[in-house]
Amino acid sequence: MVSKELEKALIEQLNKEYHSAYIYLGMSAYCSKEGFNGSSNWFLIQYQEEVAHGMKMFKYLEDQDVDINLPPIQGVKVDYNSLLDVFKKSLAHEQKMTKNLNILSDLAMKDKDHATYNLLQWYVTEQVEEEATVKAIIDHIKLVGDNGYGLYTIDKELGSRTFTDPTTK
């Protein structure tokens, strides 16, 4: 059984997953507007991944018989300065999510709630992969600087990303 304190924190996390999805939808819109169609695709896949993360949490809360309430999802500003800026903001967001998940893991550990702790470790591991992927993209963008052909090549590569449900691995 999940403690009331942890229940509340998990519902907040569920909300944050959908908020993340919303952030990535906005990033996709920004990239599309700027003509970075490959990056727009990349962020759309990221959006889908966040929805899958939310669904995994939702299913867990249902399995644990938690009374689920769904607070509103905070709006997002679609306001970025460049391709580098949008990926840097994505990384900063993921780092914030990792912090949240670590706090949640501490809470589950304090409660000796092994099932929830296990679930959260899946998210923590997922964060490592997400941060590393975005860091690599940032490095590539920095490498080419303002070189149009370089940016075009990176964008093209990002366009090849396809969706695989992360919760099935």
- 8 A C-beta contact, residue 17 and residue 104: no
Q: Is residue 28 at the binding interface for ligand OFO, with CB under 6 A as the rule? A: no
121 labeled binding residue: no
Q: Report the distance separating Cα 34 and Cα 131, nearest Å.
A: 24
Stretch that binds ligand OFO, among 76-84, 107-115, 122-130, 138-146 (CB under 6 A): 122-130
Q: How many helices (H) and strands (E) does the chain have?
A: 5, 0
What tokens appear for 7 in the block? 């229940």
- 8 A C-beta contact, residue 124 and residue 101: yes
Single residue of 80, 130, 134, 158 touching ligand OFO by CB under 6 A = 130
Single residue of 50, 87, 88, 155 touching ligand OFO by CB under 6 A = 50
50 labeled binding residue: yes
Which residues touch 113 (CB under 8 Å, ≥6 apart)?
2, 3, 6
Q: Is residue 104 at the binding interface for ligand OFO, with CB under 6 A as the rule? A: no
- From the list 24, 81, 65, 64, the residue with the least C-alpha distance to 48 is 24
Single residue of 41, 47, 94, 141 touching ligand OFO by CB under 6 A = 94
Single residue of 10, 25, 44, 53 touching ligand OFO by CB under 6 A = 53
Report how many residues bind ligand OFO under the rule CB under 6 A: 9
Residue stretches of the annotated binding site for Fe cation? 17, 50, 53, 94, 127
Chain residues in the site for ligand OFO (CB under 6 A) = 17, 20, 50, 53, 94, 97, 126-127, 130
